[in-house]
Amino acid sequence: MIKKNLLIIFSLLFVTIFSQKRVKPVNLHIKGDFTHEATSVIFPALWSGFQREEIYSYDLKNNHLAIGYVQQLTKKSKTTLTLYIYPKKYTDNHLLRDEFSSYEYALNQNSNKGTDLKPLFGSASNDQVKVNYIYSVFDHSMGQPDFFKGVKYTAKKSLLAIYECGGWDFKIRVSSDDMTYEQLEELKNKTENYFGILTIASKKHLPIDKAPDIILSPVVKRDSMMINSTITAAQAKIEWLGTHAEKKEMLTGFNDMNIGSEVFAIEKMIEFYKAHEKDWPMDLDTKKYFDEMIRIADNGRIKDHIYDKYNRLINYEQGAAKRDDYIQFKIDKNISEDTNQIFYKIFYKLE
């Protein structure tokens, strides 16, 4: 029961409110190959040694699905592969990061040990689109019902991959009794190729002919300096993406895992503050925030700050090695956790 419920729980984590959403997910009980009409992706009954066990639908048009596959080699050797696909009503530059964090939280709720999802980053492309993604290969102690113990925890090798596919979300979740990390990565590659993440991403592009909208956190509305400097940062990120990202990449997502856009946005935010420091009265918290951010910048620690702010969910190869040193730097230089606040999102409405 716990394992089956996990398939439902993971998908529900990111359900957008659809006008034709089902009251509860329904197992479609389909025999033979199943075609997802909106994207033309085919989910065969048998694939690469895996048997399709269930297709859960979350909306009346069967656009939002969770498809479960199982490979049972022996009684004690089992691998489960679950694929999630659903349309998005909007997308923002933090969505990939937020979804990954939500999965990590959910996995830890169903484990008697801490589950550490070390983020890894990748991309796939063709002539039309480029899809960026975040994934992790990790150990997970999975809870299963047990007559005597109530819940029995079993060590598994696991994988999670989340893809930016334009107006669609696609995710891969694998849990295995006997696969190695290398085999899990091979299965990920085979899965994304066979089920066509690039084809999915080509079905609905982001409307890049217009600039993304900006939404501000309520906390920045405390004074004019905070509002205007935050807008400057958001516009700088949009500018950086427009000049550094490929068009085929922008069609599918913001790729906010690239640390370059965040560095540029912070630098422009600080630059704006210095140029307009005397223009408006400032809340004490605003003054404190910029004093601390300037200390970070002056000591060459902007990238380390970003890595800490996003809890590793940014593509910065030196981040892990420098994290402890940066924590000590924050103590020595009196840098508060207020510097880790997220002040804005850039986003597109897709419907």
Q: With cut-offs at 50, 70 and 90, classify the pLDDT of residue 1.
A: very low
* pLDDT over threshold 70, residue 12: no
Q: Mean pLDDT throughout 106-118? A: 84
- Report yes or no: 50 and 1 within 8 Å, Cβ to Cβ: no
Q: With cut-offs at 50, 70 and 90, classify the pLDDT of residue 150.
A: low
Which residue has tokens 């922008």?
Answer: 250
The answer to whether the pTM exceeds 0.85 is yes
Q: With cut-offs at 50, 70 and 90, classify the pLDDT of residue 18.
A: very low
Per-residue pLDDT tens digits for 166-191: 999 999 999 999 999 999 999 999 99
Per-residue pLDDT tens digits for 303-316: 999 999 999 999 99
Within 13 Å of residue 122, how many CA atoms lie on the same side as its CB? 13
Per-residue pLDDT tens digits for 248-294: 999 999 989 999 999 999 999 999 999 999 999 999 999 999 999 99
Helix, strand, coil % over all residues of the chain, rounded to 5: 40, 30, 30
What token pair was written down for 124?
A: 């796939």
Sign of the alpha-carbon torsion through 205, 123, 172, 70? positive
What pLDDT is recorded for position 19? 43
- SS in 3 state form for 23-50? EEEEECCCCCCEEECCCCEEECCEECCE
Tell me what percent of the residues of the chain surpass a pLDDT of 70: 91
Least confident window among 127-131, 145-149, 344-348: 145-149
Tell me the Ramachandran region of residue 217: left when phi exceeds 0, alpha when psi lies from -120 to 50, beta otherwise: beta
DSSP annotation of 212: P
What pLDDT is recorded for position 14? 46
Q: With cut-offs at 50, 70 and 90, classify the pLDDT of residue 3.
A: very low
Per-residue pLDDT tens digits for 221-239: 999 999 999 999 999 999 9
Q: Mean pLDDT throughout 107-136? A: 92
- Count CB neighbours of 242 within 10 A: 13
Distance CA 308, CA 326 (A): 8
Tell me what percent of the residues of the chain surpass a pLDDT of 90: 83
Q: With cut-offs at 50, 70 and 90, classify the pLDDT of residue 141.
A: confident
The domain spans of the chain are 2-201, 213-349
What pLDDT is recorded for position 50? 98
Which residue has tokens 């190695």?
Answer: 180
Task: Identify the CA nearest to 111 among candidates 132, 140, 91, 82.
Answer: 140
* pLDDT over threshold 90, residue 155: no
- Contacts of range 175-183, beta carbons closer than 8 Å, 24 or more positions apart: 175/79, 175/80, 175/140, 175/142, 176/78, 176/79, 176/80, 177/76, 177/77, 177/78, 177/79, 178/73, 178/77, 178/79, 179/79, 181/137, 181/157
Burial class of 276 by CB neighbour count within 10 A (0 to 12, 13 to 18, 19+)? middle
What pLDDT is recorded for position 38? 96
